[in-house]
Amino acid sequence: MKFSIEHELPGRLRLRCPEGSFTQADGCVIAALLETQPGVTAATAAHRTGSLLIRYEGDVRASVLTAVEILDDAFYGKIDGSVLISEAPGLEESLASLFGGVVVRALLPRTLRYAVTFLRSLPLLARGLHSLWSKRRFNVSVLDASAVGVSMLRRDFRTATVITTLLTLGNLLESWTHKKSRESLTDSLALNIDRLWVKRDGQEVQISMSDLQIGDLAIIRTGSVIPVDGVVCEGDALVNQASMTGESEPIRRTPPLSVYAGTIVEEGELLVRVTAFDSETRIHKIAEMIHESEALKADIQNKAEKMADAIVPYSFLLAGGIYFWTRDAMRATAALLVDYSCAIRLSTPLTILSAMREGARRGILVKGGRFLEALAAADTVVFDKTGTLTVSAPCVARVVPFDGYTREEVLRTAACLEEHFPHSIARAVVRQAEKERLSHREEHSTVEYAVAHGIASRIPNLGRDLPGDSNQKVLIGSAHFVFEDEGVGCTPEQREVIDRESEKCSVLFLAVGGRLAGILCIEDPLREDARDVVRRLRETGITRFAMLTGDNLRVAENVAGAIGVEEVWAQLLPEDKAEVVKQLKKDRKVVMVGDGINDSPALASADVGVAMRSGADIAQEAADVVLSDNRLHALVDARRLSVGAMEKIYRNYAFIVGANSLLLGLGLSGTITPAMSALLHNLATIGSSLYSLTPILEKPCESDEVGART
């Protein structure tokens, strides 16, 4: 089977196969076959994404990869995977089997009933002995086995039967709840679309998704799910984007706005130029990230698991002490049946998974539980300026030529160089040239890009017949790059113009042949919601705000003052931004928000890096949280979501400790029997699990209209 290694951790491999490599039935067979390999502890095959997740122990990585290579249709196709699917019982079948067995046992003769009860207890006893003997651990399995074992030794088979049934029921419901919470994260995002209508050569034709190509014009009509990411070319429609952004009302989409796979056209018709489909769509990336995120446990989740295991020995000490003082085995058994660890182990990861699912629906992609926890603990937010606090589409306000060059020559040359790089300022230059219909030929040599500095290349001519103009070195970038790094000179008259323009705009410098050819003044309007976002973040407990930028200090201070940010660092290189974040981290929990290539080191250095979806790919890769719909207000939602998740976990702790302590007291006093204690304990565990799955945020923190504008 063809595959690539998508992600790897010690003992864990994520492989990616071409989509359509196997069906759901085939996936069951592939996973089952891989789990037969020595050292493989678990395998999962996701047919929708072509993903294989393999967990293993020991030095078996090479043999695992070899096993995947030889898997093909001729090999696994001999087994009917649909049988494996049908044989996997659902919750209803499992409950029917469990309680059906209870009824049947009640009708058996006493001796046979006792024998069946003993056989039913053997798996519980075996798991407890295995944990105690092989793993040298006092865990929940040992606790359960001890409770059943004590009842069996006392020949209290009725209690043993009830305990066994309730423990089985509890494990069944816990397993099902956890499984459903994981599956619903990705299944709610899955698209099941095989065919769609496209416009080719002026004709409407229906094609298979496998025949779709980038650049095709997809036709999306009322009531249809949009199966691709793309740009609207024609039409006018109201699109329900709740699956991506959480917006409660449909948003109007017209040319040249973007639409995304998984959203629904509620009214109207669109002609969409396809920019991504299948595994490249944003919704697919969300599902993919959710699969990966399970390996990134929150510290609070790891602490919960360790605390759960640490509690078990004390349950044994308590039971032993009770029996020593009372000689009452029933009361001692009650101490074994009520444990805190089971509910703590289950409720914490369920809360994390539920919060991540809720975030995904609101356009907040959290790459792991530990980042959710870090976001809740943060007290400092550091913003990049360009593209983050300002809109992602700055514009060219003025072009000022120097040294005999014309305005058109400066703008045309700048666009010729900048079109190679996906930065918001670069796009502004290119857009302005296109707006003025200044076409250009690719006459420059290979361009060299210095991150956060500028671009260097060589160009034969600028369309003018000037002596010495052939094959001159051309530079475009910041003042630091052009004047300090490259040594370009500047006359007093030019400096006066530059200083005047720098008070109002960011300035981009163009130099040819070691001389300043002109400047481009870039206006970068603030996001309408920037000031409100800072205010709302303060309300959530953030106490310190800072802004980092490569721009000059005067422009940076104007922006910071307009939004209420007190601290400003200007004219920074990427390594400088990262250093500022590291300094703040010494006594603070820092969130860094950015979108550009030059922000990536700072994003990686922060406790939590947050990137805008419209930003550079490397910034999104370095970030721990991605705001997928580019709403800055989503940062406030992310903060509220993370704080709410942590509060829910602590409320669950309080409930679990309180409820189980009450049950323990009732059992020790003899008020309730061990069987009743087991029943109430399991009900409390299920209750805390269901509470973990409830929504955290009631509504977005700002109006849909603001979200649409930004």
Catalytic residue among 156, 216, 339, 384: 384
Tokens matching residue 154: 């006392």
**CA-angle at 135, arms to 295 and 680, nearest 5°:** 75
Q: How far is CA 386 from the centre of its chain?
A: 24
Q: Is 587 a catalytic residue?
A: no
Q: Which residues contact 279 (CB under 8 A, 6 or more apart)?
A: 19, 49, 50, 288
Based on the number of CB atoms within 10 Å of its own CB, is 92 exposed (0-12), middle (13-18) or buried (19 or more)?
exposed
Q: Do 308 and 317 meet the contact criterion of CB atoms below 8 Å apart?
A: no
Task: For residue 648, give the amino acid letter.
Answer: K
| 3-state class (DSSP) for residue 476 | strand
Return the biggest CA–CA distance within the chain. 111
DSSP designation for 390: B
Task: Provide the terminal-to-terminal Cα distance of the chain, rounded to the nearest Å.
Answer: 45
Q: List all residues 6 or more positions away from 602 whose beta carbon is below 8 Å from its beta carbon.
A: 382, 384, 548, 574, 577, 578, 580, 581, 592, 594, 609
**Listed residue (296, 316, 297) closest to 306, CA to CA:** 297
Residue among 55, 54, 40, 47 nearest 18 (CA): 47
Q: Find out whether the peptide bond into 109 is cis, omega within 30 degrees of 0.
A: no
Tokens of 557: 């201070």
Q: Are 602 and 578 in contact (CB under 8 A)?
A: yes
Residue 401 tokens, joined: 């030529």
Residues 6+ apart with CB under 8 A from 87: none
Burial 243-259 (b: 16+ CB within 10 A, else e): bbbbbeebbebeeeeeb
Dihedral (Cα; 622, 628, 632, 637), 10-degree rounding: -100
3-state helix, strand, coil in the chain (%, to 5): 50, 20, 30
- Catalogue the active-site residues: 384
